[in-house]
């Protein structure tokens, strides 16, 4: 039988009520694997942002980096061309490409899209596709629409449960983790505010401008390919967008190196 990973165990723990969690945490038979996960939960409810971010990454997957690249334009000039080929022809092995007046923009996502999973809450609208779904992100979304005092109330309830007082309620572990994050944001911790914004709205786009000037090559063909137009000097030229696409594999590789 295959042993569950730590992340799989953690996904089960966050679904427990706080009372159920305490029973496991206080059991004399706790293993080191369990103790490690219990320590993460405790750090979360104590407001340790690093532990909360680790929980989100392990359960929901990292938020995709939003990278936009503005590529240079690649042109071929035909200074000796006196005419333009018909639309179906190809000259000098160069495919017919439409010209463009706007910089080409490519958007790359480093995180695969995952289908929504059961989060133990009431049915909720789908999380935007660019964000992976999981155990905690939908809870953040729901709690952010709740009254402002809810996170603090949840944390107080966990503290009372620790003392065997269940009069304030018995929240789930995942609610307590999210309450720890939102409580930090309410107290003005900017890194926690940024984390919530990233989790719900996605990361702010990182824009990369590759090169500064257009790249122009010269062809000595006597006929320009279809789609070529004259520049201000009366020389035929055509944009070759396929050259810009050569940058994309490298960008995807670099994108995978990103972190928080």
User: Nearest Cα to 98, choosing from 224, 227, 225?
Assistant: 227
Using an 8 Å Cβ cutoff, are 16 and 169 in contact? no
pLDDT band at 102 (very low <50, low <70, confident <90, very high): very low
Integer angstrom CA distances of residue 203 from 69, 188, 197, 257:
15, 20, 8, 16
- Other C-beta atoms closer than 10 Å to the C-beta of 144 total 16
pLDDT band at 248 (very low <50, low <70, confident <90, very high): low
Q: Delimit the domains of the chain by residue range.
A: 6-62+110-201, 66-108+206-255
Alpha helices in 16-91 (DSSP H): 18-25, 32-45, 49-60
Integer angstrom CA distances of residue 80 from 74, 87, 153:
19, 20, 78
What distance in Å separates the CA atoms of residue 238 and residue 253, rounded to the nearest whole number? 30
What distance in Å separates the CA atoms of residue 169 and residue 158, rounded to the nearest whole number? 8
Q: Which two tokens stand for residue 27?
A: 């059991």
**pLDDT of 153 strictly over 70:** yes
Q: Please, what is the average pLDDT of the chain?
A: 79
Our measurement of the distance from residue 212's CA atom to the centroid of its chain's CA atoms, rounded to an integer in Å, reads 28
- Distance between start and end Cα atoms, the chain: 36
Q: Which two tokens stand for residue 33?
A: 């694997």
pLDDT (tens digit, 9 = 90+) per residue, 71-85? 778 889 999 888 888
pLDDT (tens digit, 9 = 90+) per residue, 154-170? 999 999 999 999 999 99
pLDDT band at 176 (very low <50, low <70, confident <90, very high): very high
What is the three-class DSSP state of 232?
coil
pLDDT (tens digit, 9 = 90+) per residue, 178-216? 999 999 999 999 999 999 999 999 888 777 766 667 788
């Amino acid at each position: 039988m295959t042993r569950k990973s730590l992340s799989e165990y953690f996904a089960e723990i966050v679904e427990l009520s706080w009372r159920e969690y305490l029973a496991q945490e206080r059991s004399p038979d706790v293993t080191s694997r369990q103790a490690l996960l219990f320590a993460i939960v405790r750090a979360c409810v104590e407001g340790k942002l690093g532990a909360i971010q680790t929980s989100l990454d392990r359960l929901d997957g990292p938020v995709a980096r939003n990278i936009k690249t503005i590529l240079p334009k690649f042109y071929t000039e035909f200074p000796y061309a006196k005419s333009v080929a018909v639309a179906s022809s190809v000259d000098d092995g160069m495919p017919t490409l439409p010209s463009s007046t706007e910089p080409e923009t490519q958007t790359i996502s480093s995180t695969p899209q995952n289908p929504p999973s059961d989060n133990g809450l009431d049915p909720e609208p789908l999380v935007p596709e660019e964000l992976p779904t999981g155990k905690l992100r939908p809870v953040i979304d729901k709690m952010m629409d709740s009254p402002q005092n809810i996170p603090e109330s949840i944390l107080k309830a966990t503290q009372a449960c620790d003392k065997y007082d269940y009069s304030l309620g018995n929240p789930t572990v995942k609610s307590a983790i999210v309450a720890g994050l939102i409580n930090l944001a309410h107290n003005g911790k900017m890194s926690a505010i940024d984390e919530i914004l990233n989790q719900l709205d996605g990361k702010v786009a990182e824009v990369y401008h590759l090169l500064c000037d257009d790249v122009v090559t010269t062809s000595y063909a006597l006929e320009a390919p279809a789609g070529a137009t004259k520049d201000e000097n009366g020389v035929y030229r055509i944009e070759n967008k396929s050259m810009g696409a050569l940058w994309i594999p490298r960008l995807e590789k670099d994108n995978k190196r990103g972190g928080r």
